[in-house]
Amino acid sequence: ARPDALPRDLEGKRVVVSAGGTREPLDPVRFLGNRSSGKQGYALARVAAQRGAEVTLVAAHTAALPDPAGVHLVRVSTAEELQAAVTTAAEAADVVVMAAAVADFRPATRAEHKIKKKDDGSAPTVALTRNPDVLAGLVERRRPGQLMVGFAAETGDENGSVLDHARAKLKRKGVDLLVVNAVGEGRAFEVDENTGWLLSSDGLEQRIPMGSKSELATAVWDAVSELVRTGER
C-alpha cells in the first residue's frame, strides 16, 4: 500500500521496536550470534511510522538493511546493550515490540586477546551464562496502559505443537500480544515471507496468512491499534 493510503491510527503514539540479532563476544574477533536479519523488525518500524507513530528502532546487526524513513535508529550489539537501549526508550513509550532475536546465553568471559590454538591439539570449552530477559524486565516495569508485544519463533517437538508452546509462552511472558512464527526448514529466518499466529492475552488467536513481512507488520499494528482503542474507552 502507498503510505498515503494507510490509516494514521498511530498518530501521537510512541513506539519502540527492537530488530535483528544480538552478538555475544567470545574474544575481540569472535561471537555467538543467530540468523535474524532484522527484516521483520524493520517492517514493523516502517509501517508504524507510516501510520503516524513516533518510532525508536533499536537494531542489532542489521547493517545490510536500509535505514527506514522517519524512524529514530539506535544501533546495539549485545543483549545487554539492547536491554539498556530498549529500557531507556520504553520509559516514554506507549507500545514496545520485541522483534529482536536476543541471545539467551553469552560466553561467561570475554577474552581480552584473540584466543589462540594450543600446541597440544586441545580445544577450549566455552562456558555460557544467562543473558537478562529484556521483555520480562519491561513487563515488570510496565506503566498502566503500556502495551507489550513479544515474538516467538517456535518449532513443534515431543512436548507439543508450535501453538501449544506459543500459548504457554504468551502466559509466561505476560505480554498483550505474541506473534508466533513457525521456524525451521527455511521458514522465517532470512526470508522475505513470514507466516504465523497472533495470540492475544484476551484469548484471541488469529492466523496470519503467508505474506510479506510488511503484511505481518500491518496485522500486528491493526491488533495493537484495536487494543489501544478499546483501552481508551
Query: Which residues of the shown chain bind ligand CTP in the complex (CB under 6 A)?
Result: 79, 98, 100, 102, 104, 131, 133-135, 150-153
x-or-dash string of contact with Ca ion, 66-105, rule CB under 5 A: --------------------------------------x-
Q: Determine if 133 is a binding residue for Ca ion (CB under 5 A).
A: no
Task: Return d(Cα 89, Cα 109) in angstroms, integer.
Answer: 28
Q: Distance (Å, rounded) from C-alpha 11 to C-alpha 7?
A: 9
The span from the CA of 233 to the CA of 226, in Å, is 11
Task: Choose among ligand CTP, Ca ion, none what residue 9 binds, the Cβ cut-off being 5 to 8 Å by kind.
Answer: none
Q: How far apart are CA 189 and CA 220, in angstroms?
A: 18
CB 81 within 8 A of CB 99: no
Q: What distance in Å separates the CA atoms of residue 128 and residue 106, rounded to the nearest whole number?
A: 5
Q: Considering the complex, state which of residue 81 and residue 133 has its C-beta at the smaller distance from ligand CTP.
A: 133
- Kindly state the smallest distance separating residue 169's Cβ from Ca ion, in Å: 10
Binding residues: 104, 114, 132-135, 151, 169, 173
DSSP E strands in the chain: the ranges are 14-20, 24-27, 30-32, 54-60, 71-76, 95-98, 105-107, 128-130, 147-154, 177-182, 193-200, 205-212
Residue 19 binds which of ligand CTP, Ca ion, none (CB < 5-8 A, kind-dependent): none
Instruction: Output the smallest distance, CB 121 to ligand CTP, in A.
Output: 35
89 binds, among ligand CTP, Ca ion, none (CB under 5 to 8 A by kind): none
Residue 174 C-alpha cell reads as 505476560
Q: Give 49 or 99: the residue with its C-beta nearer to ligand CTP.
A: 99
Residue 2 beta carbon to ligand CTP: minimum distance, rounded to whole angstroms: 30
Q: Nearest Cα to 196, choosing from 139, 135, 155, 225?
A: 155
Residues making up the annotated binding site for CTP are 104, 114, 132-135, 151, 169, 173
* Minimum separation from the CB atom of position 104 to Ca ion (A): 4
Point out the catalytic residue in the list 34, 131, 181, 194: 34
Instruction: Report the residue number, 55 or 135, with the smaller CB distance to ligand CTP.
Output: 135
Grid coordinates representing 63 are 547493517
Tell me if 55 sits within 8 A of 72, measured CB to CB.
yes
- 222 DSSP 8-state letter: H
Nearer to ligand CTP, 7 or 132 (CB): 132
Minimum CB separation of residue 233 from ligand CTP in Å reads 28
C-alpha cell at 25: 563476544
Can 131 be counted among the known catalytic residues?
Answer: no
Catalytic positions: 34
